[in-house]
Amino acid sequence: MRTRPPSGRGPAWPSRQAKGSHHVPDRAAWRSCCAIRTDRTPPERNRTLARTALAAPSFLARPPAPYLAHRLGTRLPARPPRSRETRNPVSQTPQSAARSKEPRLVLPPPRTPCPREAPALRWGVLAPGVIAERFVEALQSRTQQRVGAVGSRDAKRARAFADRFGIPSAYGSYAEVLDDRDVDIVYVASPHSKHFDLAMQAIQAGRHVLVEKAFTRNAREAEQLIAAARERGVFLMEAMWTRFLPHIDVVRQVLESGLLGEVQTVTADMGLPAEPDPAHRLFDLGLAGGALLDLGIYPVSFASMVLGRFTSVTAIGTKTSTGVDGQTSVIVGNEFGAHGVLNTTLFARTPTTASISGSRARLEIAGRFHRPTTVRLISPDDEVLDSFVSEQIDGGLCYEAAEAARCIAAGKLESGLMPLDETLDIMRVLDTIRRDLAVTYPGE
Q: How far is CA 113 from the centre of its chain?
A: 15
- Which one of residues 241, 283, 369, 399 is an interface residue with ligand NAP (CB under 6 A)? 241
- We find the least distance from the C-beta atom of residue 79 to ligand NAP, in angstroms, to be 39
**Between 87 and 217, CB nearer to ligand NAP:** 217
| CA-angle at 399, arms to 378 and 266, nearest 5° | 30
Active site residues: 213
Told to check if 367 binds ligand NAP by CB under 6 A, we report no
- We find the least distance from the C-beta atom of residue 284 to ligand NAP, in angstroms, to be 7
> Which range touches ligand NAP (CB under 6 A), out of 12-20, 152-160, 354-362, 382-390?
152-160
Q: By rule CB under 6 A, what count of residues binds ligand NAP?
A: 20
Told to check if 175 binds ligand NAP by CB under 6 A, we report no
- We find the least distance from the C-beta atom of residue 133 to ligand NAP, in angstroms, to be 8
**Between 136 and 287, CB nearer to ligand NAP:** 287
- Which one of residues 152, 253, 373, 415 is an interface residue with ligand NAP (CB under 6 A)? 152
Q: Tell me the H-state helices in 116-210.
A: 130-142, 155-165, 174-179, 195-204
> Which range touches ligand NAP (CB under 6 A), out of 25-33, 70-78, 148-156, 404-412?
148-156
Of residues 191, 207, 114, the one with CA closest to residue 406? 114
- Which one of residues 113, 191, 317, 372 is an interface residue with ligand NAP (CB under 6 A)? 191
- Which one of residues 113, 124, 128, 290 is an interface residue with ligand NAP (CB under 6 A)? 128
Told to check if 281 binds ligand NAP by CB under 6 A, we report yes
Told to check if 192 binds ligand NAP by CB under 6 A, we report yes
- We find the least distance from the C-beta atom of residue 199 to ligand NAP, in angstroms, to be 11
- We find the least distance from the C-beta atom of residue 356 to ligand NAP, in angstroms, to be 22
> Which range touches ligand NAP (CB under 6 A), out of 81-89, 189-197, 218-226, 263-271?
189-197
- We find the least distance from the C-beta atom of residue 114 to ligand NAP, in angstroms, to be 21
**Between 55 and 130, CB nearer to ligand NAP:** 130
Q: Which of residues 194-213 bind ligand NAP (CB under 6 A)?
A: 194, 212-213
**Which residue number has the CB closest to ligand NAP?**
129
Burial of 158 per CB tally in 10 Å (0-12, 13-18, 19+): buried
**Between 260 and 285, CB nearer to ligand NAP:** 285
- Which one of residues 130, 181, 381, 382 is an interface residue with ligand NAP (CB under 6 A)? 130
**Between 194 and 252, CB nearer to ligand NAP:** 194
Q: What does the alpha-carbon distance between residue 295 and residue 318 come to, in Å, rounded to a whole number?
A: 15
Phi-psi region of 22 (alpha: psi -120 to 50; beta: other; left: phi over 0): beta
Binding footprint of ligand NAP on the chain (CB under 6 A)? 127-131, 152-154, 157, 189-192, 194, 212-213, 241, 281, 287, 294
